[in-house]
Structure 1
Amino acid sequence: MRATRRLAAILAADVVGYSRLMGADEEGTLDRLKAHRQELVDPKIEEHRGRIVKTTGDGLLVEFASAVDAVRCAAEIQRGMLDRDAVTSAYRRIVFRIGINAGDIIIDGGDIFGDGVNIAARLEGLAEPGGVYVSAAVHDQVRDKLAYSFEDLGEKTVKNIARPVRVHALSARAVATLPAIALPRRSRSAPLGLAARVAGLLGGGRRARSHSASPVDTEATDGAVPTASNADSGAAAIVPKPPALSIVVLPLTNLSNDPEHEYFVDGITDDLTTDLSRISGSFVIARNTAFTYKGKSVDVKQLGRMLNVRYVLEGSVRRAGEQVSVNVQLIDAGSGAHAWASRFETDRASLPEARDEITGRLARTLNVELLSAAGRRIEQDRLADPDARDLVMRGWALYYRPYSAAARDEARRAFEKALALDPESVDARVGIARILVSNLADGWSRAPAQEADQAEQLLQEALERDMNRADAHAAMGLLRRVQNRLTESRIEYEAAIAFDRNDAQALRGMALTLLHLGEPEAAIPHVEKSIRLNPHDPNIHVAYRVLGSCHALLLQLDEAIEVLRKARAASPKLYFVYVHLAGALGLRGDIDEAKAMLAEGIKLNPELNSIARLRASVPYLTYPKYLALREKTLEVGLRLAGMQDV
């Protein structure tokens, strides 16, 4: 009997990490997967005229008569999943990977077979989590009909297929830029999974957290959040209870005989700080503030009160050749008692696994979940060349020195050497790009157009390898602001903060972008949290200036002047601090002091002696909403202080 054949588009999908999800929470995973199927996946397949051929525990095979319908269905499912699972911790999130092929298939009853099906399955196996990979046959049919951004990945050799398959990718990052999908509401009577029921039982006295909260409003604080004005003044009028999972990672002590190993030890401290920031619900003090205690004897109880944190992590590193010994201890800052301590013996090549174990044990100790983004980063680190990773650590140690062109150049060379040794290094790409973009923002770039292009390419490559890198999104946000693409800057900073809510630099960058979009009220919570996370930042004047400018635009003049005076005290030789302070003082009617501050500012930068020149000095001060606010507030105050229009 002759086989029945027909041409069709085949969609193959499965759940990423299904075994891990089931092992962590079997009943809850099944509940969530069932809900996704009932409320999104199956309705979308029906809407686009697909036929579910078969399902497995974690996957499904779907037949479409049209490649356009198949691709549109896949893209809408992936986009819908972003919104549906947005409030689930990344470690427990259900994420699909999807592959689509178009070709000849064999029909046997209700089932389908043949290379057309096999290629779809192989494409699904290649696809990145949250993405859609299609064959050239599919791409040829949809490229002029669907406005999706596919990337040509070239030919790939796949198992049991005689010829290489050309692959085109709709990346997870591209999916995230698509319009939101309207989703039906989940029924109130839908059953709760085991994890949700257990969370309800264990919730105890912890206040429920609104899922609609903004990224900066998700701390589990029981009381007032300190404002910028009392964050570093020692005022005790309102002392909030430390967030449940607040922690500072003190610089680990270098016990090696060679002081040259200091950068290596500091690099481990940085890695731990970054990974602990990805513990769900954590509040981690920024690296710059933590390093102000380097080499000092610290009273952990006093430190806990000063930084308003519940835990202090401290320890030491001893390196002898390729052998590394790491000792860490977690201390309850309230009582001074040791909550946990351990020792790790490893070699330099295995250091990421040791770091993984430290953060994993901490997570279990604090009864929280590590976000999967940290796991992905550590997986990448395991594959990195140890010498390249050594250079990356050296590069960041140089970058965090006080700002200077020489330090940045030296850091850039270290990152470039790391990339030469390990061409797949995401860390090296981000490091080089961060220096290029910082130089652009600070006016230190020798070839702005060329270096902007280079930074963009490096960041695109980094995000293609790991779209969840908060530092890459933050660097891209800064680049977009320098390019006067403020809406895109905001999107990148939102992504950075979503992936690492404790990134003080990203929070400050987001605030500055929002300020220049004309949204000072929205900017204030971000910059205030940045100050609280990093109260001893050597560049704290930037955060104070942003916060003071926001208050000035909102005509909150007492607050503006108080904070701008802190900025001046932190860095007394910055032109813009004096100018903004002069504008705020002029608005409040303190004309003599306003004139004095303006005169001091112009001494620092005589060329910027008029409102027109002031505007022209910053290329991204062009958004109408911001300019309208500025004209009615700061510029009025500057005229009262004596600044001319032209």
Structure 2
Amino acid sequence: MPRKLAAILAADVVGYSRMIAANETATLDALDTLRAEVFGPVFTDHHGTIVKSMGDGWLVAFESAVAAVNAAMQVQDRLTDHPTITLRIGIHIGDVVHNEHDLYGDGINIAARLESIAPKGGITISDAVYSSLDGTLSPSFEAAGAQKLKNIDRPIITWVRTPSGGAIQQRTPAQDVVSALPRLRIEPTANSDPRAELRDTADALSADFDTYFSSINWLQANIKSTPIPDAYALRPVLRARGERIRLETRLYSPAGDTLWTHKSDTTLDEAFDWQDSVIAEIADHCIGLILEAETTRIMALPDEDLTAEQCLLMGIITWRDFGRDSYIRSVQFHERAMIAKPDMADAYAEALIVLQAGRTVTSSDILQEYFDKIPAWIEAARPLAPGHAMLTLAIAVATYAQEKKVIPLKEAIAQTLRLAPFDARVLSFCGWANLWSGQTQDAYDCFHKSLEFGRLGPFYVASLGGAASASLQLGKDEKALALVDKGLALSDLYPTFYMVRTAALAHLGRLDEARIALEEYRKLEPERTLANWAATNNYGGSEGGKRYFEGMKMAGMP
């Protein structure tokens, strides 16, 4: 029988026998919904294969420990507020033996034993798994020491993520603005075909819809089988006839009106490649329709009648193109939100983020009035920061810009990643915080993960710019240019793309092309010089930062 190395996730429902005895029908219905809304999409998205389902438990095989941990954390975070279902999860990586019916081996046994000692709602992983994690995941786990597991000869060093490690549990209602942002209910992709490949395709479509829409920071998107009041709704239906399949999708307004319908056909053999393109097409069109509707709704209101929440939403939307003027317009809206509601944590977070980003890519004179307000905003925001991922990081980055102390910033980045390990926008800003402070490899890891979880949406542009910058600073010039090309196809107003292109081409010895790229950059930022750039942000004095400046200098930047 073939033997292979795999990461095994073992999950078990806490109190399953008690729940079945109390209400068998309700329990089984809850587990069916759990599979449609959570397990199917999440496991499929991370290329996990359910190898055994035991009613109250599951064994899932993954190709990597990182994929298994990502999946486990997302599952537990989505179950935080579930009224009846609580899971324990254990993960180990090791040799497994596969036959046509089952998997066997120490990898299976140890994962199951780790699940049995995991906290309710938590995750326990072995040291072999922990050693595979990068800096975006490891902050979520705490050392739990060596454990003697039943029927396992050697002690296993373990690491634990408790339910309190997630952002949702630590947030307070006053810090949330969920009710202010438009909502989208993504129905699990309906599929009546019993074939396993069609079921997997439906799960993959649900996962991709969730990934794409969840990356939009002005939209609250969730996979949900039951209606959500006052929400847009996306209803995908997968139909099959032999080898031919069709995806029929409808977008509904909060009032229940049909806004858009879409049909796309393919075959089972072509489904994998078709999936990426059709999801992007549908998501892009739906986001445009929702954005247009929400912007039109708010813009129809008298300016003086805008609520704090509406100002916040307009500030977030305004900044989506990262153009020079968008910084000032965005921060103006966020200041209005602060004035209208001084305890709105999100308004402070957004304003500080916009200003720190603006400080690094545009001339400071257009934002100077607001830079002067940063110390007062930080002090007002500190009491609102506990449990708020973006505000925690925004305060730390703004403080670092003033004091240049790396250790407090690194601690804040770790805390932020514990609170929101899968938020594409948070990951992107963690990447920039690492890059600005000279933690170049950590920055690249954050940007890479942000691009994975935010394949569509406004911060995809910023993540591409960050990943390109980090690649350049790590000496990966061709990789940097490839990322720049992707970014310029989405936005030609973002100065970072031209900066990276200039420096990368110079380091590759293509000086004529580098000078042309520099001319494009200086059309956007004519006042920027190496001196005022370094004074504003020298990338923590890192070798990568020096390489960046050297490339710009070779191209002729004054």
More helix by share: 2
- The normalised TM-score by structure 1 is 0.41
Which has the higher Rg, Structure 1 or Structure 2?
A: 1
- The normalised TM-score by structure 2 is 0.47
